[in-house]
Amino acid sequence: MALWGGRFEEETNREVAKYTESISFDRRLFRHDIAGSIAHVHMLARQNIIPQATSEAIERELLKIRDRMEKGDFEYSIELEDIHMHIESALIGVLGAEGARVHSARSRNDQVAVDVRLYLRDQIDLLLEKVEFFQKILVERAETDKRAIMPGFTHLQHAQVVLFAHHLLAYVEMFGRDAERLRDCRVRLNRMPLGAGAIAGSTLPIDRASVAEELHFAEVTRNSMDSVADRDFALELLSDLAIFGIHISRLSEDIILWSSQEFDFVELSDDYCTGSSLMPQKKNPDVAELSRGKSARLTGDLMTLLTMCKGLPLTYNRDLQEDKLAIFDALDTATAILTVYPGMIAKMKIKADHMRARAADPYLMATDMAEELVRLGVPFRTAHSRVGSLVKYCRENNTSPEKLTLAQMRESIPEATEAFLNLFDPEASVAKRESEGGTGFRSVERQIAYWKERLA
Ligand code: ARG
């Protein structure tokens, strides 16, 4: 009979047991479940709810169970539903009546809430390490190739000359915000729900603050009904991971474009690509493509959890058991991405000469010409239209701005000076963009220095 079987006359139908179990996926919470139980029995003993000796015996057995689970030397069965029941029933198996005291003033509703919070707190710490390591790799890459220039794109059309490092550092910013969001999520997650019981708190003289302290929670939750119903912390985490996935997907798309024959800006290392089973010449950017694909899972996991919580009446409902599938999938997906991506970026070769050749497109300097006119006192709109007519002139006459004589240039831009003939050097164009946050060499150096210090 199940631990809750007192009022039941029939055993659970086998198909129903299979349908309702969560042990197949929540067993990964075992360490955190045991940590929660140990802090709980410590408190029960301090409060004289159970004898000190019982608390000690329970702790000793819990640690043994943890070791067995750690070693894979523990038998799981769907009859016991979930990780909480497995651990409690193993405890009772050894300690009998003494073990049966562990669940005093506790319900699986507050137990699962504390377990998941403890687990996610550790997972966030691991993710933060990985995100920051990845940022370091991107910054190193930016520094190694800090002179490389490339065309910058808007609308996927040549826009202005930029440093390749500047482009990479844009992603360092995105992943920096991802890390900020994870840290912020950790603050609201770090509140202790145990003691809420099933819904309404306990009639026993529990001391929640001391449990929070032992488990390193910053505070206790204030409302027992909210404590067992709330999954905001998981929603926040999955939103953060979905946004992270969007960033990875955009970076992946850039890398896929860059490694195409059309762009030909980078070459991925062979060990991060695969070939085609049919076309012998192919070398495909699979890691980038799969990461773009996997980011869809992150968005999907967030949608799953949002939809699950929508319309749920207070408080705990069994629907919430399914939260773990979305949460674990998102964590595993983000972790897998962050495990392979740094190596791919570190080993990616850039084709600096080819990128530079593409950046030498004189039309990329059209804005520089307009700004040169502004410097001479021409209102920007007028300057824009002058340069626009120059572009039109060149297209119509099948020529290019850097080939024009000053006289030809003056047909479109009467204010043009000698200096206008020398505006087409891509390095010079980059060097002039030293406004804060711009792509200028010194501005990029400053960004690199900032991140090196931040990530040290
Ligand atoms: N396995 C359950 C879950 O993950 C634990 C809480 C179950 N509570 C209950 N009253 N059935 O949500």
Q: Given pLDDT bands bounded at 50, 70 and 90, which one contains residue 3?
A: confident
Amino acid at 125: D
Residue 405 lies in a domain: yes
Q: Which of 351, 273, 335 lies closest to 122, judged by CA?
A: 335
Buried-state track 16-31, b at ≥16 Cβ within 10 A, e below 16: ebeeebbbebbbebbe
Q: Quick one: which atom of ligand 1 is closest to the CA of 324?
A: 4
Q: Quick one: which atom of ligand 1 is closest to the CA of 320?
A: 12
Q: Which of 313, 339, 357 is the last residue of a domain?
A: 357
Specify the pTM.
Answer: 0.95
- Cα 167 to the chain's mean position, in Å? 20
> Which CATH number do you get for residue 241?
1.20.200.10
Q: Which residue has the tokens 């000698």?
A: 418
pLDDT tens by residue, 376-389: 999 999 999 999 99
Residues 257 and 373 in one domain: no
Find the residues whose C-beta lies inside 6 A of ligand 1: 22, 26, 82, 108-109, 112, 318, 320-321
Residue 278 lies in a domain: yes
CA of 297 to the centre of ligand 1 (A): 25
CA dist 63 and 429 (Å) reads: 65
- Looking at residue 278, its pLDDT comes to 80
Is 435 marked active-site?
Answer: no
Q: Quick one: which atom of ligand 1 is closest to the CA of 198?
A: 10
Please answer whether residues 32 and 118 qualify as being in contact, where contact means their C-beta atoms are separated by less than 8 angstroms.
yes
Residue 211 lies in a domain: no
Q: Which of 228, 211, 194 lies closest to 47, judged by CA?
A: 211
On the question of pLDDT at 233 being above 90, the answer is: yes
pLDDT tens by residue, 331-357: 999 999 999 999 999 999 999 999 999
**Closest Cα to atom 4 of ligand 1:** 321
Determine the residue of 37, 86, 108 to mutate for testing ligand 1's pocket, defined as the one with the most ligand atoms within 8 A of the Cβ atom: 108
On the question of pLDDT at 11 being above 90, the answer is: no
pLDDT tens by residue, 280-301: 888 899 999 999 999 999 999 9
Angstrom CA distances, 453 to 52, 137, 164, stand at 50, 14, 21
What residues pair up with 192 in beta bridges, in sequence order?
Answer: 220
What residues pair up with 191 in beta bridges, in sequence order?
Answer: 219
> Which CATH number do you get for residue 443?
1.10.40.30
Q: Given pLDDT bands bounded at 50, 70 and 90, which one contains residue 8?
A: confident
Residues 98 and 114 in one domain: no
pLDDT tens by residue, 170-226: 999 999 999 999 999 999 999 999 999 999 999 999 999 999 999 999 999 999 999
Question: Which residue range forms the structural domain that includes residue 22?
Answer: 5-104
pLDDT tens by residue, 113-128: 999 999 999 999 999 9
Q: Given pLDDT bands bounded at 50, 70 and 90, which one contains residue 6?
A: confident
Is 276 marked active-site?
Answer: yes
Q: How many other C-beta atoms are found inside a 10 Å radius of the C-beta of residue 4? A: 10
Residues 188 and 280 in one domain: yes
Whole-number mean pLDDT of the chain?
A: 96
CA of 84 to the centre of ligand 1 (A): 9
CA of 388 to the centre of ligand 1 (A): 67
On the question of pLDDT at 319 being above 90, the answer is: yes
CA of 114 to the centre of ligand 1 (A): 12
- Structurally, the chain folds into a number of domains equal to 3
Instruction: Choose, from 89, 155, 239, 295, the residue flagged as catalytic.
Output: 155
**Closest Cα to atom 12 of ligand 1:** 321
On the question of pLDDT at 276 being above 90, the answer is: no
Q: Quick one: which atom of ligand 1 is closest to the CA of 81?
A: 1
Residues 113 and 100 in one domain: no
Q: Which of 104, 136, 170 is the last residue of a domain?
A: 104
Instruction: Choose, from 202, 276, 354, 385, the residue flagged as catalytic.
Output: 276
